[in-house]
Amino acid sequence: MSAMVRRRLAPSLAMARRSVRGIIRQPQLWAPSVVFPLFFGAVSSAAFDRTRSIPGFPEVDSFLTFILPATIIQGVMFGATSVGNEMAIDMENGFADRLRAAPVGRTGLLLGRLAGVMSLAVVQVIAFVGIFAVFGASVAGGLGAIVALVVMGSLLSGAIGSFALIVALRTGSVEAVNGSFPIFFAAVFMSSAFFPPELSGGWFETVARLNPVSWLVDASRDLVIDGFTVSAAATAVGLAAAGMAIVTAEAVRTLLGGGK
């Protein structure tokens, strides 16, 4: 790597290290995104395990297997919003203004900020798979499916984190970032995450089928229940990658526009 390339990457790498250290040092920012999905998964499994006997319900040995993809996506989405809180705090204390004035690439700095939550997502996915396995859940797709889920989770975290950054850049408010939480909460619950829409019928089925979260859940669930296929892996990873590309591009535009 040439000296020029190293100089150009140095600010982004420094921001990435700062982001990762911030995640490690502030467990209060991400612990709920691990504890809450696990708690909800346990409650759901106990309450709805009998739904596996409903005709048309996917054949699984445990309800935990069915909701594992939902737990992963829920946890990753909730955890990723913490990067918006950090940006809002930096804007309040003036650190963000100093970064804007520095002669460094804005895109690299923004991607560096996402490094922490994207790394957290990797840990979350592995933790959820491991903990659910202890209680009887299984991933039919094996290691290949787990790798695809990890990549999907990290990219999804980048997409949601970018959305949180947009909110922070436009408002400069931690409260506003936290206020975006219900959006993701509703998106997960109005999807196929916790129950097959086709068995519900009516308006819920229509909404769930149009919800992009359902597309991501369904592709991930195929990896968990049916086994690894290139199609399912490409769909899960591709959807998350497309989401990150679109939202991150808007975050960069917002940053360059001074939060407009």
Q: Is 47 helix (H, G, I), strand (E, B) or coil?
A: helix
Mean pLDDT, residues 174-201: 88
Residue 11 has pLDDT above 90, yes or no: no
Tokens of 26: 């502030």
Residue 249: CB atoms within 10 A of its CB come to 12
| Phi, then psi, of 129 in degrees rounded to 5 | -60, -45
pLDDT score, position 224: 96
Q: How far is residue 99 CA from its own chain's centroid?
A: 26
- Model pTM score: 0.89
Which residue did the predictor score with more confidence, 257 or 196? 196
CB 224 within 8 A of CB 148: no
Residue 96: CB atoms within 10 A of its CB come to 21
Where residue 16 falls among pLDDT bands split at 50, 70, 90? confident
Least confident window among 11-20, 93-102, 138-147? 93-102
- The region, left, alpha or beta by phi > 0 then psi within -120 to 50, assigned to residue 143 is alpha
Residue 70 has pLDDT above 90, yes or no: yes
Per residue, the 3-state secondary structure of 64-129, as one string, reads HHHHHHHHHHHHHHHHHCHHHHHHHHHHHHCHHHHHHHCCCCHHHHHHHHHHHHHHHHHHHHHHHH
Where residue 19 falls among pLDDT bands split at 50, 70, 90? confident
How does 179-216 read in b/e, with b if 16+ C-beta sit within 10 Å?
ebeeebeebbebbbbbbbbeeeeeeeeeebeebebbbb
Burial of 166 (0-12, 13-18, 19+ CB in 10 A): buried
Where residue 100 falls among pLDDT bands split at 50, 70, 90? low
Mean pLDDT, residues 203-222: 95
Q: How far apart are the first and last CA of the chain?
A: 36
Half-sphere exposure of 164 (CA within 13 A, CB side): 31
In this structure, what DSSP letter does residue 52 have?
A: G
Half-sphere exposure of 235 (CA within 13 A, CB side): 17
